[in-house]
Amino acid sequence: MLPTNEKPMEPKTYSILIIDDEIKILLGLRALLERGGYKVLTSDNSPEGIIIARQNLPDLIICDIMLPVLDGFKIKNIMYANPLTRDTPFVFLSARASPADKLQGFDLGADDYIVKPFDPKELLVRINSLFTRINKTRHLALEEVKLKNENIQDEISKNISHELRTPMALILLTLDAIKQEKFELPEEIKSYVDSALLQANRLHSLIDDMTFLSNFDMSPLAHLRRIVDFRNDVILPVTLRKDLYFNKKPKVELTIAEGVLIHAPRHEFSMVVSHLADNAIKFGPHGVSVKIEIVRNGDGGCIFTVTDDGPGIPTNLQEKVFERYYQVSQGDARQFGGIGVGLTIARIITRSLSGDVVFLPTGRGCCIQMTLPPAAADIP
């Protein structure tokens, strides 16, 4: 019987795998744990036990140390090496009671070490307590993740709101000025219209990004490869990004090698071009120099390289910046506009076309490269 102050942990919720070559202990433990409300799996040899663990992913493994073929320490190492069983709670059960054996067990990451012969009531209490401790740890971890996610979502909400309001306010102010002012020369009104159009493009780009991510989260990308129009799908998005940061007076040089023919979904390819150019200009200093080069990579493929003389990105953050909303999650340290999805979208689109976007080593500034493999066009 269980002690009066201990209750089984949610009957039939937890599964326990026992690996022990002593049949009497194996059967006795099975009966004890099943009476305690657990689902029990058993194995009397280590190779079979490893297979059962991988196939059933138990909530706890109780393993003897002195086993033929593979001892308990080796089994623990094998469990840790497999991502599916790495975090499975593990209890050693052994007649080896020396401090050195116990220390080795705990050094391997065991959650408990129980010495044979053991008291059945004590063993059940220790297992119940182990699950209670694990649940508390998981609960705290989940609460921490939940709080972090809530903070990130709050930042995302605030920054999306800011990124939407700013261009909209400028558009409304510009249109109001056009309405109120009496212009004598066409050039005067043209500058206001150009300003409004620039902010409208900025707003459209943000909405386009959010729509893309929403669609991507709901279903896989379906692309039709067409011949990319360099004027509309490359030169125009680069020009728009350069104009957006006109106050920084960026110097942008675009070179398209002879014979380049790109087969890709035009709208998505244009989004990648826009974001890679934006990344180089936005994070660069006043007067930043940006060089964009497109070379042939077989029939329908290309290598698109963007190099700038800005501050660059530390090597340890070069993968981090591809994470969605990464810039947003910098909180009060956030220095630049945008919501941190540009490089995320660029990589999603490129990888969906069997290519990739990566950073290249450079002595100064930043160099990012998109590679698209050769591919035929689906439609002209």
Q: Does the pLDDT at position 317 exceed 70?
A: yes
Asked whether the predicted pLDDT for residue 12 surpasses 50, the reply is no
pLDDT tops 50 at residue 1? no
CA distance 294 to 307: 12
Whole-model pTM over 0.85: no
Residue 247 has pLDDT above 60, yes or no: yes
pLDDT at 331: 46
Architecture in CATH of 15-118: 3-Layer(aba) Sandwich (3.40)
Torsion sign, CA atoms 96, 99, 101, 107: positive
pLDDT, average across residues 206-224 = 83
CA–CA distance, 375 with 380 (Å, rounded to integer): 13
User: What pLDDT sits at residue 327?
Assistant: 67
What is 149-218's CATH topology? Helix Hairpins (1.10.287)
Residue ranges covered by each domain of the chain: 15-118, 149-218, 226-372
Q: Can you read off the two tokens belonging to residue 375?
A: 């591919």
pLDDT per position as a tens digit, 273-304? 999 999 899 888 889 999 999 999 999 999 99
Higher pLDDT, 1 or 300: 300
For domain 226-372, the CATH superfamily is Histidine kinase-like ATPase, C-terminal domain (3.30.565.10)
**What is the predicted pLDDT for the residue at 155?**
66
Segment 353-368, tens digit of pLDDT: 999 999 998 878 899 9
Longest dimension (CA), the chain: 102
151 versus 89: which is more confidently predicted? 89
Mean pLDDT of 325-338: 55
